[in-house]
Each structure stands twice: as C-alpha cells, then as structure tokens.
Structure 1
Amino acid sequence: MSASSNFFNNLCTQYEKSEDLFKYLQSSEGGSLKVISNKEFPHLAIIRYVKAASGTSATNMSHPNASYFRSVVWDINTNKPVAISPFKTEPLESLDSLSSEQKTSCVVEDFWDGTMITLFYDTTVNNWLLASRSNVGASCRFYGPETFNTLFWDTFRFMGLTIQQFDPKMTYTWILQHPSNRIVVPVTVCALRLIQIMSGADEVAPPPHLINFLSRRLPLAGNAITLKSLNDLITANNNIFCQGFVVKDTLTGKRWRQRTPVYLSVHEMRGNTPRLDYKWLTLRASGDLNSYLHHYPEDKPAFNALWSRLKDETRDLYNTYCQVFKARSLPSKDAPKHMRKLLYDMQDHYLNHLRPAQLTMTWAACVQWVNSQDVPRQLFLANYKFLQQNKQTSFPYEPTDENLLTPSSDLVKAAALEPIDVPVAAVGPAAPADATA
C-alpha cells in the first residue's frame, strides 16, 4: 500500500464521521484547510489548501496534511475520498537531495498551462461528474462566459473521446485548454491533457487507448534530473508558449515544478481577476496597458467599450454637476440617485482645493478628479447604467485563494458589481495607455 493510501486510510479510521474529520482539517491542528460544500451535490465536498501571503485563515502550507489536499473531492456519506488531484509540489531545492535510487522513478513532463479538471464516477447519482479545484460539477468559469463543465465536454467531444472509454473505478485529472479561457499560453485549438489516473489514492498507468492524451515525457529522466539540468531546460524554452516543466516521481506521486521567467512575467501582468473592467483600470493606472494588449489583443474590444462608457458617464456627471452647482437649474435632490455622492464629493473638491487656488471645476478638472478616484469607484461610474440596462444572469467564478480567505474591503467593493460581457457592437475608438476619461 502506498504512502498516500495509508494517509487517507488513517484519516478515515481516526475520524469515523465526515463532520469530525472536517472539523479537524479546518482547525489549526489539522492545517487550516478549506472545506467547500456544494448545493447541487450535497453529499460531496471539496477539501483543499488555501495559499496566502498572510492571514489567519490561510492554510499552514508546512503542515503534512497540506501536501495531500491540493484538491480532494470527499463523499460526506461514506467519509471517503472519491477524487484526488495531483499532490502539492515539493520545494524545488529538495530535488538535488534525492538519492540515485529515488531518482530512478522520476520523469520530466510538460507543465501545461490551463485549468485542472477531474473526471470521476459518482455512485450516488450514478453518473460521471467533473470537479474543478473548488467546485464539484465544474459549473463555474473564470476568463470566459462559459462554465468549465461546458468547455470540458465540448473539448471532450472535439477530441473524439467517449465516456465508454473510461473506467468508473478510476478518476482522471486533465488540464483543459480552450481559446475562451486562455491564461497565458496562446490557445488556438481546444485540447485536454491527461496528467493523472488514480485508483483510489494510488496513481496507475494509463490504458493503451489513452496514451496519446498523456503529458509528453522528455528524454531527461532518472539521475540526469538535477537543478542544473532543469534550469538548462527552462533557459532553452524561455518563451510565452512554455509554462515550464514538472518533475514527477512515478512511485510516490511527489512533484517538483519550475516555470519559465517569460511565463511568470506575463502571468503576473494577467493578474488573478477575471474582470476585464477592473483589469483595464488597474493596468491603465500602472502604465502597463499597452504591454498587456501586446500579449492579449483579444481583450482590446472590451477595453475600448469600457473606456468609451467611462468617458460618456464622466461627461454626464460633469453636465449634471454644472446644472446643480453652476447654473443652479437642477435641485441636488433631483439629480440621479447614483450620482449624488459623486456630485457632493466633486463640490467638496472644488471648495477645498480648486477655489482656494482660484480655479473652477472645468471639464479637464472633472476628468482629473474622476481619474484620481479608486478603481471600485470608477467601476461604479462606468458600469451602473450599463448594468441596469443589461441585467443578466451569469455563472459564478471559480474562486481564487484570495476569494476563499476573508476579502479586503477593496475586493468586496470591486466584487459588488457583476462582471460585464461587452458586445462587439459597443466597441469605441482605441484608447492609448494614458487615455483619460
């Protein structure tokens, strides 16, 4: 029996009821893991670690439990794991501490850029189910409008796969790549990359008919795998089309990974929010908008539409300000309700900053003031009327680690508005990186 099988068997033996196990795993003693319930499948939960730079509710990543709970689908009724994703990676520097004997079972594989999805058979509903890292059913999304569930099955059919090819006793972990959910590496054709097949808590070899879907294994293997040889491989493939490489111990399931510097740079610019409106304003403020559009030209129509909308709403705000505080032709109580706080703050800015300098609230001063507001407030101005006119129900997002922790006040305010799916017809003129409203 493998170390992973022993680990999960011991947990199930020590805690006979799932509620007792969950209580332990969520405690500091158990590593402060996150247990995520599911309304659609109430008998299943996902247990996973949550990384964060700081925060008392973040997982203790040095705790032994964290290694096994990158993302595990747990059956609450039977108190057993039903789908186990690849384990947390080991510190890269520990690679060279492996003995020659330990390295004999190590291989190097491509580190695919995409979304991890696990396919498993659930005996309660008697059907195949999907799970992302945080959602049983994969009925969530991130960069695109479609759910991971929809993207997976569309890609599944596109690649000529049928469910009859899969063993219900096994679980299959894939990396989903789709043009509408691109992360960093450009994707022109949707694909599924099979990275792991599990029988219970043990990884097994793939059947012959699935070998072509496996991650590519490089010639580098065994004792030839060192930090230096891995660094040489990274240097030779340092481009946006390569996320990096994974070293995998085929006996223990342990993994080590390294990303290319170019990938890391673009990924940092991409950020961890799927909201294009929030992203546009933060990139605009940091001066990175042109660099971002060089790598993600597909986002330009949405950025242009938001820029046009913010400009129009700023013009409307200024005209209303002139009616209320200059011409006195509109009582402030009759101004649009969503504008009133903005109008009062503009007038406060005039009284405390412009008038003492013998300046007035001109269009240019209004633009400057709007651009000085924080990102959530600019989003409110740009999106309020648009969202009132285009109310729609959208699928929830796959939460990031930050979302699973207690969000900051800025994140709460930014999340208060639904993300926008901008129609192409709404596209306005291209905005330079330093464009004002």
Structure 2
Amino acid sequence: MYLDLINLDGINVKAGSFTYCMITYDKKNMGGKHSTIGLYRSVVVREHQIVCYSPPKSLAPEYFIEKYPVITSDIVVQEFVEGTMINAFWDTETSAWEIATRKVIGARASFSSEKQFRDMFFEALAECGLNMEETLDKNMCYSFVMQHPDNRIVTPHKKPALCLVAMYSFEDQTNIIHHDIYEQRYRIKNVRVPNIYEYNDYNQIQKIFTNASCFLMGVVIYNKTTDERMKYRNKKFETAKNIRGEKEKLKYLFHSLKREGRAEKFLEMFPEHTERFAEFNADITKAANGLFRCYLNCYVNKRQPIAAMEPETKKHLYALHQLYKTELRPNNQHVTPEIVNEYIASF
C-alpha cells in the first residue's frame, strides 16, 4: 500500500489547508531509492486517502536503460515540456476541483511573478476554454504543465496554455493506475499533449536532445506499463535557464548560439542580453583582427617569423594556414578578416 511507505527515511509530510497533507521525497536523503521514495514526487492525502498523485521521479538513465534495453512499443519517447507542473484533483468533501503545485496545495505561490500560480492556472483554463467540472473525470487526477506570459522560464509565451502530461486513478487506495493521455486528448479540447518522437535508439536520442537548441528542454522516455521514466536534459536549455546575468555562462551560450546561427533569434526572446552579446561580438572581432595581422606578418609579408609568436597564437596561425592550403587555395581564395572571424567563432 502506498501510504505504508510514508514512514521511510527520505519522505517529507507537510500539513496543508483543511485536512490535506502533501507528501514529497527529500531529495538529499533519497539515496538510490527512486523506485520507492521516488514515487512521492508530489502526493496529496486527505484523511488517509490519496486524492492526488503526480508522475514519479525519473530514474537515472543508466538504470532505466539497463531495465529496458530495447525501445519497444511500451516505451514512449516524448517532448519534455517547459513550464510549471499543476496537479488537479476532485475533492469529494468540498465538491470542487482543487489544484496543487509540486509542493504547495492550492498553488498559492510563485517564483518570480507577483501573480500566484493559482491565478495563472485559472487564466490558462479560461484561455483554453476548459470547464473542469464538465470535462474532467472526477475519479481521476490530472497533471498539467502550465505556460504563462508571467511565468517565463526560457521561452516566452504570448498567452497562457496547458499541456496534459499525466492522468491517474486509485483502486481501493492500494494501486495507482496511470491512464494513456493520448487516448484522452480529443475529449479534453484545446489542451495539448506532449509531442511524440519516433526514435528507437537511446544513443541517438541522447546525442540529439542533450545538445539541441536552447529553446528545447530535452526529452522524456517512459514505460506505458510501469510508468517508470527517465529524462535527457538539454545542456543548452539548462544554461539559458540558469544564466541569471552570470557573464561566463552567458558568454558560453553566446558562442554556442553564434556557431548555430541562432544568436539573433535568442535576442528576440531575450532582448535584455543584447548589450552583452554586442560586447562578446566585439571581443571576437578584436581577436580576429589581431590574428589576421599576425597571419599577414608571418605568411604573406614575411615580416615576422612564426617561431617568434606566442604558443597559443602559433597554434591558430598553423591552423589557419592549413585551412588556406587545403580549402582556400584550391578555390583561388585567400585568408581574409571574415574567414579569421568565422574561424575564431567556430571554437
């Protein structure tokens, strides 16, 4: 019985409003118990009855892959949706739908906005035209990811939106049954579900989604039968999310975006970084001009022997001249400031 696990080390029990309790795992004391304590990512109990459950904590990729080495029809590879998790459940005592974030019953909290998650969620409901009492099954609880203009994480949103990521029901408080959200999407209109990706190789998935565009959060891989899951997080998304004005992280992101040709798109969404990006661009131009002058002095005008250069400069001069011999000269091209600029930006 799920409630029997509450006394385990690594479980937090927090009293909520009325007779609610919120049960969550203690991340610091979990150890490797993801298959037991990890079930308590966010569980709401009222008078010893589970009324709300959310998707469990993800397993470590190596453990999930060891357990499910082949991506069969039971394994779903889906979009990792950016936003804030909001769980909804029917309260039989009050005869009304109640909501909760991962740790706060009632969702009366926020990260950086003066507006509470509760208010944002109901604005998203109105935008979607979703009437919970008429549409949702009162015998189930629902996990949504909420996106809202006032709750920006990385990608800005022009209007509130909801994505349904999980549905659960309870069997005599002894079993938690998860339901297929993709079978319900046509009944719950204007609320989308995560996109499904057609991949069948873990290595390919990891390669694609851990180094994708900074606007993509990553990928979730889960077993439809057991509800066990794993995640690959996109490093660039995490960098963008955690920038918070830190110059070195922002500089790393700038170079990654510049290599991909995505810097302008990023600044459309994060105009507050325009001045910093201009500084980084100026640094590249300055370095490129200096390296180009050294190249001219060593290889074109023969005014300075390359042996006299600093080791770091010498390394780049050799690389540029190799580029000239193998790619530029065969096409009647020369080393120019623009080519040096591209070379510096490439690393």
2:178 counterpart residue number: 203
The answer to whether the aligner puts 1:74 opposite 2:45 as a matched pair is yes
Q: Kindly tell me: are residues 99 and 118 of structure 1, through their superposed partners in 2, closer, same or farther at Cα, counting changes over 3 Å?
A: closer
By how many angstroms is 1:146 displaced? 0.7
The answer to whether the aligner puts 1:253 opposite 2:224 as a matched pair is no
Of 142, 147, 163, which aligns to 1:177? 147
By how many angstroms is 1:165 displaced? 0.5
Query: Which residue type is aligned with residue 213 of structure 1?
Result: R
Q: Is the 8 A contact 1:31 1:61 kept in 2?
A: no
Aligned 1:188-227 pairs, distance under 5 A: 188-200=158-170, 201-206=176-181, 207=184, 208-210=186-188, 213-220=192-199, 224=200, 226-227=201-202
1:262 counterpart residue number: 236
Q: Is the 8 A contact 1:186 1:241 kept in 2?
A: no
The answer to whether the aligner puts 1:42 opposite 2:15 as a matched pair is no
SS at match of 2:197: strand
By how many angstroms is 1:95 displaced? 3.7
Which structure features the higher share of helix residues?
1
Query: Which residue type is aligned with residue 197 of structure 1?
Result: M
The answer to whether the aligner puts 1:230 opposite 2:205 as a matched pair is yes
Identity of aligned residues (%): 25
Between the aligned partners of 2:139 and 2:112, the Cα distance in structure 1 is: 32
By how many angstroms is 1:142 displaced? 1.0
Q: Is the 8 A contact 2:10 2:27 kept in 1?
A: no
The answer to whether the aligner puts 1:96 opposite 2:74 as a matched pair is no
Between the aligned partners of 2:161 and 2:27, the Cα distance in structure 1 is: 28
Segments of structure 2 that go 5 or more residues without pairing to the other structure are 171-175, 255-265, 275-347
Q: Kindly tell me: are residues 126 and 298 of structure 1, through their superposed partners in 2, closer, same or farther at Cα, counting changes over 3 Å?
A: farther
SS at match of 1:180: coil
Q: Kindly tell me: are residues 187 and 240 of structure 1, through their superposed partners in 2, closer, same or farther at Cα, counting changes over 3 Å?
A: farther
1:158 counterpart residue number: 127
Q: Is the 8 A contact 2:23 2:40 kept in 1?
A: yes
Q: Is the 8 A contact 1:107 1:217 kept in 2?
A: yes
1:125 counterpart residue number: 94
Query: Which residue type is aligned with residue 233 of structure 2?
Result: R
Q: Is the 8 A contact 1:60 1:66 kept in 2?
A: no
Q: Is the 8 A contact 1:140 1:149 kept in 2?
A: yes
By how many angstroms is 1:144 displaced? 1.0
Between the aligned partners of 1:34 and 1:100, the Cα distance in structure 2 is: 33
Q: Is the 8 A contact 1:177 1:192 kept in 2?
A: yes
Q: Is the 8 A contact 2:44 2:52 kept in 1?
A: yes
Encode CA deviations 1:139-193: one digit per residue, 9 max, x unaligned: 1111211111100010111011112111111101000111111112232332101
Q: Structure 2-normalised TM-score?
A: 0.65
Q: Is the 8 A contact 1:51 1:61 kept in 2?
A: no
Between the aligned partners of 2:235 and 2:162, the Cα distance in structure 1 is: 25
Between the aligned partners of 2:160 and 2:71, the Cα distance in structure 1 is: 36
1:138 counterpart residue number: 107
2:312 counterpart residue number: none
Q: Kindly tell me: are residues 150 and 186 of structure 1, through their superposed partners in 2, closer, same or farther at Cα, counting changes over 3 Å?
A: same
Q: Is the 8 A contact 2:148 2:161 kept in 1?
A: yes
Query: Which residue type is aligned with residue 82 of structure 1?
Result: V
Encode CA deviations 1:356-397: one digit per residue, 9 max, x unaligned: xxxxxxxxxxxxxxxxxxxxxxxxxxxxxxxxxxxxxxxxxx
Between the aligned partners of 1:204 and 1:132, the Cα distance in structure 2 is: 20
By how many angstroms is 1:101 displaced? 7.2
Encode CA deviations 1:31-76: one digit per residue, 9 max, x unaligned: 22111212xx231111111324xxxxx444536432210111111x
Between the aligned partners of 1:214 and 1:177, the Cα distance in structure 2 is: 13
Q: Is the 8 A contact 1:31 1:60 kept in 2?
A: no
Q: Structure 1-normalised TM-score?
A: 0.52
Of 138, 141, 148, which aligns to 2:117? 148
Segments of structure 1 that go 5 or more residues without pairing to the other structure are 1-6, 13-20, 25-29, 53-57, 271-279, 301-437
Query: Which residue type is aligned with residue 31 of structure 1?
Result: D
Q: Is the 8 A contact 2:64 2:229 kept in 1?
A: no
Q: Which has the higher contact order (CA 8 A, sep 6+)?
A: 1
Between the aligned partners of 1:298 and 1:136, the Cα distance in structure 2 is: 34
Q: Kindly tell me: are residues 128 and 260 of structure 1, through their superposed partners in 2, closer, same or farther at Cα, counting changes over 3 Å?
A: same
Between the aligned partners of 1:125 and 1:299, the Cα distance in structure 2 is: 48
Over the aligned positions, Cα root-mean-square deviation in angstroms equals: 2.8
By how many angstroms is 1:100 displaced? 6.3
Q: Is the 8 A contact 2:34 2:57 kept in 1?
A: no
